[in-house]
Structure 1
């Protein structure tokens, strides 16, 4: 009984992405030693207790290609099923578990073995989802669950639904970082109650607990802030070439390393934007945007709806050039864009859900803007005039 409890805990930890390579090997070994009925009962109990993980996204062509090797290693005669639901009795629980376990094994070892290139079409390129990595002050990294949308900082680190990510964060002000890859987004509630939304390809560095006197964070990429008011501790955000100081407000920062300008858009409240090169500051009012380019800073009226559309799950291409729009597409769908022939000029327009497949966006380009898209197997899009 004690051994089964240990196996269940390991499997639950694995599903929540909180398992080390050593623990993964222990889980693999322990499952292989169970009698068939005990094996099925143990696994079924864990999986049924976490229905969010019963999802076809665990299965892909790479797992299918390597599955027989895993099956032989565990030495259990199970039937491979490409489509499965745990609630159906005719699906082998063992097959489900082997797929899940081997997917994890593949992800743990993919840096050590060469990948087989998959042939992917634009119909198969899905939009981004909740993906992020948490890096602690000691260098430990934790892959955050795709089935959660955010984490909350405190004496412990928890997901938005209250489930635990990590135990004690300590009382010091040492920095940790949450980062999203291309095709990823995540939310974080800091220890003072400030809420931050991270767009794809972005990072936020912050202390587990803010010290007395001030609250300081650093952003790379794009983030939307709703800052908890604390008149005794100003909230400061450092990003490329600038620093922002606020007391309590909502604003968006776009400071991607591969873009020349850093843009701060104020939704409500007041912020002071410091140009760190020119040692000059400007005070923004709601609806204004500051653009920092080197030693220069410009303040003008902003299209706030367009600037924060990403936070609400939308693309808003209002007055965006094709280059500006495709930067968003590259980050959200994790693709590369090249141009052939004359690059399209002028501005795009319109709105679109960020939940659509890449192929839907390409249809929009081809039909409304006469831009032809050619897809390459290395996830490269080549754009050219349609004529």
Structure 2
């Protein structure tokens, strides 16, 4: 019988207390393993790899009560015996994560995760997790993942992260502040989830849209403030003349002192953009070949090695943070792309109406069918006769086709 000080990745994944600490976030177990890492720092990398394996898997939509989850955890050994008699594919059987993890190990997944030797590899797994997980979550310093409910607010400061829910008491999580090393956290909002709100330690407010990852430090450096985005954010920056604020994407850097603006930089989009609501920002391409100053009520677009500025109605580009979409003279295809991301559905339209300009306002209801009904009944397509063109839609699984009604 191994002692916990002798554990490897496989041993961690067989430990009921470890499973509870990661999957159920039970206080006693979380505290135990936090202390374990402090006492056994050489095991930190293996623990991190085990966590990533647990958190990187997908399961079906069946839900379980807390009691059912605990019962499943208590019967992991029984599941292992059963699994060894039947070949298992993740997601085929409706089994809770603990049993699935052990099952995966029995068919050789451990051999893939065992060779971790660097923080970069762990970070790669963390990044890949976003392709699988469907829940909004806060990742603290790459070590602890906290699931968030829709409507939760996250506040950083005073050495802790506070999560405020509408119907629950605030939950507080200790955050290690190390002056010698900048620790980064991530707020991940998958496609199909509502925008989330975050207050940084300097008081800056950030809204993170669907399909986005926002990376930020636990505490900012003394001479500058830097955050990173893959996706779309709206940010209201707290003024601090001594520490300029930088929002960085894969293609550009946005510098501001105190201002309000949005940044759109989805990795699967050809263009990235900045829309300035208030203040002044400087935008520079990552290769430093292009740099421009942006004035309020204007949008800068970086695409195809060019940087262009146009006038913009700013609320059209930030209305998503309020749970609606407002648009003026936008192509129908562009509007459907935004709705697709919000609901994690594939929504397209017939070729002959893709480029038709649309104006209107859509409330992002919980049910995407309500939005499609609104589009099909009320959106005006800007034609010469200025009449509303009736539309209909067809649904086939997660694919929806919008077409002009004949």
Aligned to 2:391: 371
Report Cα offsets for 1:148-189 as digits up to 9, x if no partner. 233334401112467234113323412111110112221111
Q: What is the CA-CA distance between 1:385 and the residue it aligns to?
A: 3.5
Unmatched 5+ stretches in structure 1: 1-17, 28-59, 75-104, 114-129
CA contact (8 A) 2:336 2:348 kept: no
Aligned to 1:168: 175
Q: What is the CA-CA distance between 1:106 and the residue it aligns to?
A: 6.2
Kindly tell me: are residues 306 and 131 of structure 1, through their superposed partners in 2, closer, same or farther at Cα, counting changes over 3 Å?
farther
User: Structure 2 matches for 1:1-387, cutoff 5 A?
Assistant: 20-21=22-23, 62-63=62-63, 108=97, 132-146=136-150, 148-160=152-164, 163-171=170-178, 172-184=181-193, 185-277=195-287, 279-339=289-349, 342-355=352-365, 357-368=367-378, 369-377=389-397, 379-387=398-406
Tell me how many residue pairs correspond in the alignment. 287
Report Cα offsets for 1:345-375 as digits up to 9, x if no partner. 3111100212353122212332344333111
Q: What is the CA-CA distance between 1:386 and the residue it aligns to?
A: 2.5
Kindly tell me: are residues 22 and 131 of structure 1, through their superposed partners in 2, closer, same or farther at Cα, counting changes over 3 Å?
closer
Secondary structure (helix, strand or coil) at the match of 2:328 reads: coil
- Looking at structure 1, the residues matched to 340 and 284 of structure 2 have their Cα atoms a distance apart, in angstroms, of 30
Report Cα offsets for 1:323-354 as digits up to 9, x if no partner. 21111111211211244564533111100212
Higher relative contact order (Cα pairs below 8 Å, separated by 6+ residues):
1
Q: What is the CA-CA distance between 1:217 and the residue it aligns to?
A: 0.6
Secondary structure (helix, strand or coil) at the match of 1:324 reads: helix
CA contact (8 A) 1:241 1:294 kept: no
- Looking at structure 2, the residues matched to 200 and 61 of structure 1 have their Cα atoms a distance apart, in angstroms, of 19
Kindly tell me: are residues 334 and 107 of structure 1, through their superposed partners in 2, closer, same or farther at Cα, counting changes over 3 Å?
farther
CA contact (8 A) 1:275 1:295 kept: no
Kindly tell me: are residues 23 and 151 of structure 1, through their superposed partners in 2, closer, same or farther at Cα, counting changes over 3 Å?
closer
Kindly tell me: are residues 61 and 314 of structure 1, through their superposed partners in 2, closer, same or farther at Cα, counting changes over 3 Å?
closer
Report Cα offsets for 1:110-149 as digits up to 9, x if no partner. 9669xxxxxxxxxxxxxxxx96211232443221233523
- Looking at structure 2, the residues matched to 289 and 325 of structure 1 have their Cα atoms a distance apart, in angstroms, of 17
Unmatched 5+ stretches in structure 2: 1-19, 30-59, 73-93, 104-133, 379-388
- Looking at structure 1, the residues matched to 216 and 391 of structure 2 have their Cα atoms a distance apart, in angstroms, of 42
- Looking at structure 1, the residues matched to 187 and 158 of structure 2 have their Cα atoms a distance apart, in angstroms, of 15
Kindly tell me: are residues 309 and 362 of structure 1, through their superposed partners in 2, closer, same or farther at Cα, counting changes over 3 Å?
same
CA RMSD of superposed structures (Å): 3.3
Secondary structure (helix, strand or coil) at the match of 1:367 reads: helix
TM-score of the aligned structures, taking structure 1 as reference length: 0.66
Kindly tell me: are residues 201 and 281 of structure 1, through their superposed partners in 2, closer, same or farther at Cα, counting changes over 3 Å?
same
